[in-house]
Amino acid sequence: MRDMATTALAHALAAAEHGFRVIPLTRAKLPAVRSPHHRDPRSPPCRGTCGLLGHGIHDASADPGTVRALFAAAPWATAYGIACGCAPHHLIGVDLDVRPHGPDTSQGANGGPHDTPHGPHDSPHDTPHVPHGLAGRSRTDGPAALARLAREHGFTVPRTVTVLTPGGGRHLWLSGPPGLTVPNSAGRLAPGVDIRGAGGYLVGPGSAAARGGYRLSPGSPVWTPAPVPPALLRLLRPSSPARRPLAPGGSRPPEPRPAALTALVRFVRESREGQRNTRLFWAACRAYETGAGAQLAPDLVQAAVDTGLTCREARATVASAARSAAHRLQPPAVGPPPPGPV
């Protein structure tokens, strides 16, 4: 374990030397330094303004002294994360998942099957139900899906930094333009194609996770991400928010406030084992009921993944919440009056 921690720190310092901001991660690929506010989850949101370590991606730094301090605060860290969307590289991560035919219940957040194990104390009801006859029929091939997108939209996938994941997938590193925020998304472009943008992170090469190591692909460039193709960048830009559904009676719900949406994401991110799916479902329902579901879904999925749920579980729970909210927002059916005295 100590050797893996030393290796992770060495690679993290190398990344920082090239301008990438890093944080230490656990074997489950979660931020390793515990929040200083964990005893009071109701405390106001803090992104490191308190001056203490333990604020996840907000701790990410390219300063060698800070990186050493972060790893010293978490000597159990065997991996490191590279923050996306930060200067000077404005990194965009394209996470290409690969899963063969057959049922899969442990798809990871940053790669293919078995990347992230289930929490040992999760409730048996913490996994969404998969309808009988559907499990195991699909095959996910992220690289093939990205190649199809490239053909359809007229761009070439550039030769760039490529990291192989333990589950058989890969991460492509691309450099984005300054001044443009690329959001995180899971499967929005195509099945098996997840995007890590502002507020997200990629597991760096040289990391050791629960299911194996992350390593550079043979022949891959080192620390030099290629510019994102303009046609692909257009696909990554935030889409226009969907038209909000009518509430009962024909009125539209009030416009959601940004602070309220941030609170929903924070509510999910603060979930503990055994309550993660329940919290995610509740937050997603509230988002869809206010008309911000499509806008907030990627952030909710990412927050759930950061707590240890798999991408597949999180997406299924959010989709279930969308259906539930749509059903509740439908106006009641108009029928004949009930029988009564004339």
CB distance 85 to 199 below 8 Å: yes
Domain boundary among the residues 238, 271, 296 is at 238
Number of domains forming the structure of the chain? 3
Identify any residues that bridge with 203 across adjacent strands, giving them in sequence order: 81
Structural domain contains residue 278? yes
Structural domain contains residue 51? yes
Helices (H), the chain: 2-17, 64-73, 142-153, 230-236, 258-269, 276-289, 293-307, 311-329
Same domain as 3, residue 134: no
The structure's pTM equals 0.63
Same domain as 193, residue 274: no
Same domain as 169, residue 117: yes
Same domain as 65, residue 96: no
**Cα–chain-centroid distance for residue 283?**
16
Same domain as 102, residue 221: yes
Where are the extended beta strands (E) located within 13-53?
22-25
Alpha-carbon distance values, 90 to 173, 174, 215, 229, 294 (Å):
10, 8, 21, 14, 24
Structural domain contains residue 102? yes
Same domain as 127, residue 162: yes
Note down the domain range covering 19: 1-83
How many CB atoms neighbour CB 237 within 10 A? 10
Report the candidate in 39, 242, 198, 28 with the shortest Cα–Cα distance to residue 114.
Answer: 28
The angle at the Cα of 233, spanning 232 to 236, to the nearest 5 degrees, equals: 95
How confident is the model at residue 320, as a pLDDT?
86
Same domain as 142, residue 34: no
How many residues in the chain? 342
For 12, residues 6+ apart whose C-beta sits below 8 A from its C-beta are: 22, 24, 67, 71, 80, 204
Residue 88: asked if its preceding bond is cis (omega within 30°), the reply is yes
Structural domain contains residue 180? yes
Same domain as 325, residue 306: yes
Same domain as 90, residue 55: no
How confident is the model at residue 159, as a pLDDT?
97
- DSSP state letters, 261-319: HHHHHHHHHT--TTSHHHHHHHHHHHHHHTT-HHHHHHHHHHHHHHHT--HHHHHHHHH
Structural domain contains residue 283? yes
pLDDT profile of the chain (342 residues), mean per 10: 90 97 94 80 67 87 96 96 95 91 38 32 33 48 94 96 96 94 87 91 96 96 96 82 48 52 83 84 85 83 82 86 71 44 36
DSSP β-ladder status, 98-99 and 91-96: unpaired
Structural domain contains residue 154? yes
* Separation of alpha carbons 217 and 235, rounded Å: 26
Structural domain contains residue 335? no
pLDDT tens sequence across 166-192: 999 999 999 999 988 898 888 888 889
Six-digit token string for 288: 């869809």
Structural domain contains residue 339? no
How confident is the model at residue 329, as a pLDDT?
53
Same domain as 136, residue 64: no
Same domain as 190, residue 125: yes
Same domain as 316, residue 292: yes
